[in-house]
C-alpha cells in the first residue's frame, strides 16, 4: 500500500496558506480509523479576512477578460491531469472510495474545468431591436459578486470544482467551505488554481463549524450568491437563511432515485449495470439508484441476477487492489444502514444478501438487497445514501409511475425498456430533474445537473451552470440622431 505522506492541511485566504495557532480537528481514514492529519478551523478574523479579500478581488476580477479567465481554467485542467494520481491517492485515503474511482473522479473533473474554460468565453449579452430608431436596447450579463459555496464529502473534488469553475468563469469571486471529513481534494483545488495564476482573493478556502460558517457568510452583505450541495434538511436551512437576506441560491440536494425496469428490457444487462452503479462510492451518491421497481413478469429473473452481482462485490480498503467498494465515509453511515435494515426486517422484508457491517474495524457495510418488502419500510421513503437497494414489483405503467413519483424527492430517475414509446412516456411522466434511459448518462460537463421538489433548484453543468452567477441588466438608450 502506498505510504506517501498525506497532504498538509490549511486555510487559504487572500493567497496565503494559514494553519498555525488555530483550533484543529482530526481527519480520519474511514477504513482504519487512523488519523491522517489535523485540519485548522477558521477564526472570526479569518472569516472577515476571507470576505474582505473576496470583495476586494471582485472589483478587479469582474472586469477581467473572459479570455484570461479561460486561460487560467484551462491551465488548471492541465495541472489536474498531471497531478491526478497524487490527488486521487489522498482522496481515497480520507473519503474511502477505491483508488480507481477516486482517480476517475479527478480526471473527469478536469473535463468540467476545461468545459467551463471554453463556455465562459461565450457569456454574451444581446441586442434587442427597438420600436424607435432613436433607441438602442441591449441586455448585459454581469457577475453577481462574491459567492459562498458549501460542498459535500461524497465527491469532494468534483462537487467543489464545479462551483468554483462556474463562479470564476462568470467573473465572480468565491469563498468555499469544503467538507471537513475529506479536505484533501479541496486543498488540491486551491493549490492548483494558485499555480495556474488565479489572482489572490478570487478563491478562499475556510474550514470549521459548518453551521457557524454558513450563518456568518450568508448573513454578510458582501456575499451575493449561495451554492450548496448536501442533504435536504440542511439545504432547507441554508435556503431559508439565504432567502431572509434575498440571496440568490443554487441548491443540489438529496435524492432517492427510482429505477423502472420493464419486462421487455435486456434484464441481465440492466441488472449488471444497475449493480455496478448501485455500489459506486458505496452508494453514497445523490443520484444512486435505490428504489428498484421491476415489472412483475421479470422480477424473479432480475432479482436473481442483481443479487448475484451485488453479493460478489469485493469490499476493502480503497487502496487495495481489485476492490469494488470501499468503506462508508463515516461511522454514522454504518449506523444508518443498520437501522434501515433492522426496520425492514422487523416488518417482514427479506434480505437477499448483505444486511450487516463487515468486521469490527473501519466503516465497512455489506452490499445489501432487500425484497418482498411492505410499502411502509423506511427504506422506501428515506434516502439510504449507502449500499442498500430494495426491489419492488409493479403490474402496469401507471402503477410504476405512481410509485416512482410518490416521494418528495425529484433528482434522478432511470428507465430500462426496449420500447421507444414507453421510454418517451416515462421521461415525460417522471417527476425528476433528470431521466436516464437504458444507461447512466448524467453529470457530463456539457449537460445540466439538478433536481426539482425537495431535491433543490438550479443547475450545475451545461450552459445553465452560469445562470446562477450572472445578473441580467437591460439598458435602453434614447439618442437624437445628428442633424
Residues labelled as active-site residues: 252, 286
C-alpha cell at 148: 459562498
Closest Cα partner for 387 from 460, 255, 290? 290
Q: What are phi and psi for residue 138, nearest 5 degrees?
A: -140, 155
How far is residue 166 from each of residues 17, 267, 398, measured CA to CA in Å?
A: 23, 39, 39
How far is residue 256 from each of residues 398, 406, 446, measured CA to CA in Å?
A: 19, 11, 24
Closest Cα partner for 190 from 176, 180, 179? 176
| Helix (H) / strand (E) containing 472 | strand 470-478
The whole-angstrom separation of Cα 97 and Cα 194 is: 27
Helix ranges (DSSP H) in 247-319: 267-278, 296-311
Q: Are 374 and 331 in contact (CB under 8 A)?
A: no
Q: Do the bridges between strand 248-252 and strand 456-457 make them parallel or antiparallel, or are there none, so unpaired?
A: antiparallel
The whole-angstrom separation of Cα 24 and Cα 207 is: 9
The whole-angstrom separation of Cα 110 and Cα 104 is: 10
- What are the beta bridge partners of residue 126? 139
Q: Is the dihedral of CA 403, 298, 292, 354 positive or negative?
A: positive
Burial 447-462 (b: 16+ CB within 10 A, else e): ebbbbebbbbbbbbbb
Closest Cα partner for 388 from 368, 363, 358, 412? 368
Taken as a whole, the chain contains a residue count of 483
Q: What are phi and psi for residue 175, nearest 5 degrees?
A: -110, 120
The whole-angstrom separation of Cα 206 and Cα 204 is: 7
Q: Do the bridges between strand 350-353 and strand 289-295 make them parallel or antiparallel, or are there none, so unpaired?
A: unpaired
* Residue 312: how many other CB atoms lie within 10 Å: 11
- What are the beta bridge partners of residue 11? 18
Q: Is the dihedral of CA 322, 328, 334, 339 positive or negative?
A: negative
Q: How far apart are the first and last CA of the chain?
A: 82
Amino acid at each position: 500500500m502506498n505510504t506517501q505522506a498525506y497532504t498538509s492541511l490549511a486555510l487559504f485566504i487572500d493567497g496565503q496558506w494559514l494553519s498555525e495557532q488555530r483550533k484543529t480537528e482530526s481527519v480520519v481514514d474511514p477504513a482504519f480509523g487512523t488519523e491522517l492529519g489535523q485540519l485548522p478551523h477558521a477564526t472570526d478574523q479569518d472569516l472577515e479576512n476571507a470576505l474582505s479579500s473576496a470583495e476586494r478581488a471582485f472589483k478587479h476580477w469582474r472586469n477581467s477578460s473572459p479570455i484570461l479567465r479561460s486561460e487560467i481554467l484551462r491551465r488548471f485542467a492541465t495541472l489536474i491531469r498531471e497531478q491526478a494520481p497524487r490527488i486521487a491517492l489522498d482522496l481515497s485515503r480520507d473519503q474511502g472510495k477505491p483508488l480507481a474511482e477516486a482517480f476517475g473522479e479527478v480526471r473527469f473533473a478536469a473535463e468540467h474545468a476545461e468545459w467551463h474554460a471554453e463556455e465562459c468565453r461565450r457569456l454574451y449579452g444581446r441586442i434587442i431591436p427597438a420600436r424607435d430608431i432613436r433607441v438602442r436596447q441591449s441586455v448585459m450579463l454581469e457577475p453577481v459578486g462574491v459567492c459562498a459555496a458549501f460542498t459535500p464529502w461524497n465527491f469532494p473534488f468534483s462537487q467543489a470544482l464545479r462551483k468554483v469553475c462556474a463562479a470564476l468563469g462568470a467573473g465572480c469571486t468565491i469563498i468555499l467551505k469544503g467538507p471537513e471529513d475529506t479536505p484533501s481534494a479541496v486543498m488540491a483545488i486551491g493549490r492548483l488554481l494558485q499555480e495556474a495564476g488565479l489572482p489572490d482573493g478570487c478563491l478562499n478556502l475556510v474550514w470549521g463549524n459548518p453551521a457557524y460558517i454558513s450563518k456568518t457568510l450568508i448573513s454578510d452583505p458582501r456575499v451575493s450568491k449561495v451554492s450548496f450541495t448536501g442533504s435536504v434538511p440542511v439545504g432547507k436551512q441554508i435556503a431559508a437563511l439565504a432567502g431572509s437576506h434575498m440571496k440568490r441560491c443554487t441548491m443540489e440536494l438529496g435524492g432517492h432515485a427510482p429505477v423502472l425496469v420493464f419486462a421487455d428490457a435486456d434484464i441481465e444487462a440492466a441488472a449488471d449495470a444497475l449493480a455496478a452503479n448501485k455500489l459506486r462510492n458505496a452508494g453514497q451518491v445523490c443520484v444512486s439508484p435505490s428504489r428498484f421497481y421491476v415489472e412483475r413478469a421479470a422480477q424473479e429473473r432480475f432479482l436473481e441476477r442483481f443479487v448475484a452481482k451485488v453479493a460478489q462485490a469485493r469490499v476493502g480498503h480503497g487502496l487495495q487492489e481489485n476492490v469494488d467498494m470501499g468503506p462508508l465515509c463515516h461511522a454514522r453511515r454504518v449506523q444508518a444502514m443498520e437501522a434501515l435494515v433492522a426496520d425492514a426486517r422487523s416488518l417482514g422484508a427479506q434480505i437477499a444478501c448483505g444486511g450487516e457491517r463487515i468486521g469490527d474495524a473501519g466503516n465497512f457495510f455489506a452490499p445489501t438487497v432487500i425484497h418482498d418488502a411492505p410499502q411502509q419500510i423506511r427504506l422506501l421513503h428515506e434516502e439510504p445514501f449507502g449500499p442498500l437497494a430494495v426491489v419492488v414489483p409493479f403490474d402496469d405503467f401507471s402503477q410504476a409511475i405512481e410509485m416512482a413519483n410518490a416521494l418528495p424527492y425529484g433528482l434522478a430517475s432511470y428507465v430500462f425498456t426496449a420500447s421507444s414509446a414507453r421510454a418517451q412516456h416515462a421521461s415525460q411522466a417522471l417527476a425528476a430533474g433528470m431521466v436516464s434511459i437504458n444507461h447512466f448518462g448524467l453529470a457530463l460537463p456539457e449537460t445540466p445537473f439538478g433536481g426539482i421538489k425537495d431535491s433543490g433548484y438550479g443547475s450545475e453543468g451545461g450552459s445553465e451552470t452560469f445562470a446562477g452567477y450572472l445578473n441580467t441588466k437591460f439598458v435602453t438608450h434614447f439618442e437624437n440622431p445628428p442633424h
